[in-house]
Amino acid sequence: GAVVSQHPSWVICKSGTSVKIECRSLDFQATTMFWYRQFPKQSLMLMATSNEGSKATYEQGVEKDKFLINHASLTLSTLTVTSAHPEDSSFYICSVQGTLNEQFFGPGTRLTVL
Amino acid sequence: GEDVEQSLFLSVREGDSSVINCTYTDSSSTYLYWYKQEPGAGLQLLTYIFSNMDMKQDQRLTVLLNKKDKHLSLRIADTQTGDSAIYFCAESIIRDSSYKLIFGSGTRLLVRP
């Protein structure tokens, strides 16, 4: 399957600052990527679908102006959490869609907002 | 509607078989998947099954699909302590003209030595 990396693996920031998380598909051309959020001991919550060269599709209840997604190439999608607040603290995971609609996941980024 | 349900917890002794169950609601799902998540890590695709299959075996893993009852199970033979993790089942659905995965809540498997 596809190998997916995320950077950084963890980040601590002050309230009000913006944080950018990168998701890279290392060996697969990723037309479609996804961003998820996971709270402790809970399942994954899909935030948005990221399509290369076009605007992301956000799930209901996810603020597109707060969670900016850019998918400018077939190997890179970025998620920027703007004006982060403590309630944005979470585990953010990206994935790459494969040829059988399966998804290959990155290792996740733990965001802590102080 | 879109809903995938799993039992929350399973404890087995090392060497025994583990069976993790899942029910889903979307009968049009083409593929169903099993993922494994270890603490602080992303999800690892374990196996998948096409909706027109009843069973798929891959080494220690056996997936059974009952499409009539919309029931999916994952059997792990000879369970090892390294199998301790959270297991998610997922169904593939079409929404907003693209395929998405709907995940269950995850089953925490604890393997006792």
Kindly report, residue by residue over A43-84, the tens digit of the pLDDT. Answer: 899 999 998 888 899 999 999 999 999 998 889 999 999 999
Q: What is the mean pLDDT of residues A34-38?
A: 96
Closest approach of B99 to chain A, Cα-based (Å): 6
- CA nearest neighbour of A21 among A7, A37, A38: A7
Please report the pLDDT score of residue A97 as a whole number. Answer: 93
How many residues would you count in chain A? 114
Q: What is the mean pLDDT of residues A97-110?
A: 92
Residues on chain A touching B43 (C-beta within 8 angstroms): 44, 93, 95, 103, 105
Handedness of CA A26, A27, A33, A38 (dihedral sign): negative
**Extended beta strands in B1-113, E state:** 4-6, 9-13, 18-24, 31-37, 43-50, 55-58, 61-66, 71-76, 85-95, 98-103, 107-112
Tokens 């693209």 sit on residue: B98
Q: What are phi and psi of A39, to 5 degrees?
A: -90, 160
Please report the pLDDT score of residue B3 as a whole number. Answer: 85
Q: What is the CA radius of gyration of chain A?
A: 13
Q: What is the mean pLDDT of residues B71-100?
A: 93
pLDDT exceeds 80 at position B1: no
A contact set with B (CB within 8 A): 1, 4, 6, 32, 34, 42-44, 46, 49, 51, 57, 93, 95, 97, 100-108, 110
Handedness of CA A53, A2, B92, A69 (dihedral sign): negative
The residue of chain A with its CA nearest to that of B87 is A43
Please report the pLDDT score of residue B2 as a whole number. Answer: 66
Please report the pLDDT score of residue B85 as a whole number. Answer: 97
- CA nearest neighbour of B104 among B66, B71, B67, B62: B71
Residue B106 pLDDT grade (very low, low, confident, very high; cuts 50, 70, 90): very high
The residue of chain B with its CA nearest to that of A107 is B42
Please report the pLDDT score of residue B94 as a whole number. Answer: 84
Q: What is the mean pLDDT of residues B2-7?
A: 87
How large a percentage of chain B has pLDDT more than 90? Answer: 77
